[in-house]
Amino acid sequence: MTTLTLAKALNAGLRQALADDPKVLLFGEDIGALGGVFRVTEGLQAEFGNNRVIDAPLAESGIVGTAIGLALRGYRPVVEIQFDGFVFPAFDQLVSQVSRLRFRTAGALSVPLVVRIPYGGGIGAIEHHGESPEAYFAHTPGLKVVTCASAADGYWMLQQAISSDDPVIFLEPKRRYQDKAEVDFSQFPAPLHSARLARPGTDATLLAYGPMVRTCLEAAAVAATEGHQLEVLDLRTLAPLDDAAIFASVRRTGRAIVVHEAAGTLGMGAEIAARIQAECFYELAAPTLRVTAYDLPYPPSKVEQSFLPDLDRVLDAVDRSMNW
């Protein structure tokens, strides 16, 4: 067991992937000598050289376009988008090209590409530095979308994504980069596209991913002092969703509350709620509720804490569900 921050665990995962496969390349703005804005790639260029850890021009469309060509030539490029809101110049490349190539060629071509995106708010940054764009990508057939919430998952899930022959959008909760947890380098990891039971419970299920997993665990700890045993399910995979784990948890508790930072309308919570209502209708003691950010552009940092879901809003939803 080694205690690492999420950022250090991701760094270790990239180092292992680079060491294991000479076809793995890292590509992005300031990822080389600087080690990235969040220092996730720190030291990797010095260790593996500037032909494998490559500082790219400030041009996200060009970065992803180049990575597509590299993937088609047999490499396994790992692209870093510096901040979540910067991915949109590359949106056409991702949804019009990357996601479609395997289907378009009837399986003759694959694009083993990972796009790392630090996402979410809570760091006091300016506009386009706190976006949660996961629903755009989860809505796009042909893209896999995953997000880690702990150091252990950061280490293992990133390596699994890199070894996948499908394009993977790998979302990293930037406000959790410095959260520490134990990583067991000898532990056989769970499958990439599977949810994780973060806390067992009996009274209601909190379904969360990325930055909101910690918030839900904190809410569950407070609820326990009031006599409510909340189950917390870390979804980990957004496309495809781990329906079996979601339904099993909700059937155990009879109540479901989905929590995410993205806006509510047509967000991941809407899809998850629809699936729960369709498959678990007779086991539900209350309707599925959602706790999300508001349907507004991301606000100035001075008011972001009022914009993002927090412990109080999660507990309020729990009370409404329990009293239905």
Q: What is the pLDDT of residues 269-321, one digit of tens each?
A: 999 999 999 999 999 999 999 999 999 999 999 999 999 999 999 999 999 99
Kindly report the CATH number assigned to the domain that includes residue 44.
3.40.50.970
Q: Is residue 162 part of a domain?
A: yes
Q: Which of 128, 129, 228, 260 is catalytic?
A: 129
End-to-end CA separation in angstroms for the chain: 44
Q: Is residue 223 part of a domain?
A: yes
Q: Give the domain-ending residue among 161, 183, 205.
A: 183
**Does residue 208 sit in the same domain as residue 140?**
no
**Does residue 207 sit in the same domain as residue 244?**
yes
Q: Is residue 136 part of a domain?
A: yes
Q: Which domain holds residue 201?
A: 196-322
Q: Is residue 191 part of a domain?
A: no
**Does residue 14 sit in the same domain as residue 160?**
yes
Joined tokens for residue 57: 């021009």
Closest CA to 207 of 156, 154, 253: 253
**Does residue 178 sit in the same domain as residue 230?**
no
The pLDDT, as a whole number, for residue 127 is 87
Q: Is residue 188 part of a domain?
A: no
Q: Is residue 150 part of a domain?
A: yes
pLDDT score of 206 more than 90? yes
pLDDT score of 41 more than 90? yes
The pLDDT, as a whole number, for residue 126 is 87
**Does residue 84 sit in the same domain as residue 218?**
no
**Structural domains counted in the chain:** 2
The pLDDT, as a whole number, for residue 188 is 87
**In sequence order, what DSSP letters do the residues of 240-301 get, joined into one string?**
TB-HHHHHHHHHHHS-EEEEEEEESTTSHHHHHHHHHHHHSGGG-SS--EEEEE-SS----G
**129 in active site:** yes
Count Cβ atoms within 10 A of the Cβ of residue 297 and give its class: 0-12 exposed, 13-18 middle, 19 or more buried.
Answer: exposed
Cβ distance 178 to 7 under 8 Å? yes
Element of type H or E holding 5? strand 2-5
Cite the beta strand spans of 14-55 per DSSP E: 24-28, 53-55
**Does residue 149 sit in the same domain as residue 230?**
no
Q: C-alpha dihedral over 249, 252, 256, 261, to 10 degrees?
A: -30
Closest CA to 121 of 173, 60, 160: 173
**Does residue 168 sit in the same domain as residue 226?**
no
**Does residue 149 sit in the same domain as residue 7?**
yes
Q: Is residue 200 part of a domain?
A: yes
Closest CA to 137 of 112, 164, 163, 119: 119
Q: Give the domain-ending residue among 150, 183, 216.
A: 183
pLDDT score of 58 more than 90? yes
**Does residue 258 sit in the same domain as residue 155?**
no
What is the percentage of the chain residues whose pLDDT exceeds 90? 98
**Does residue 177 sit in the same domain as residue 61?**
yes
Joined tokens for residue 100: 């479609």
**Does residue 276 sit in the same domain as residue 318?**
yes
Kindly report the CATH number assigned to the domain that includes residue 236.
3.40.50.920
Q: Is residue 291 part of a domain?
A: yes
Q: Give the domain-ending residue among 155, 183, 211.
A: 183
**What are the pLDDT digits (tens) for 223-279?**
999 999 999 999 999 999 999 999 999 999 999 999 999 999 999 999 999 999 999
**Does residue 237 sit in the same domain as residue 293?**
yes
The pLDDT, as a whole number, for residue 158 is 98
Joined tokens for residue 216: 């839900």
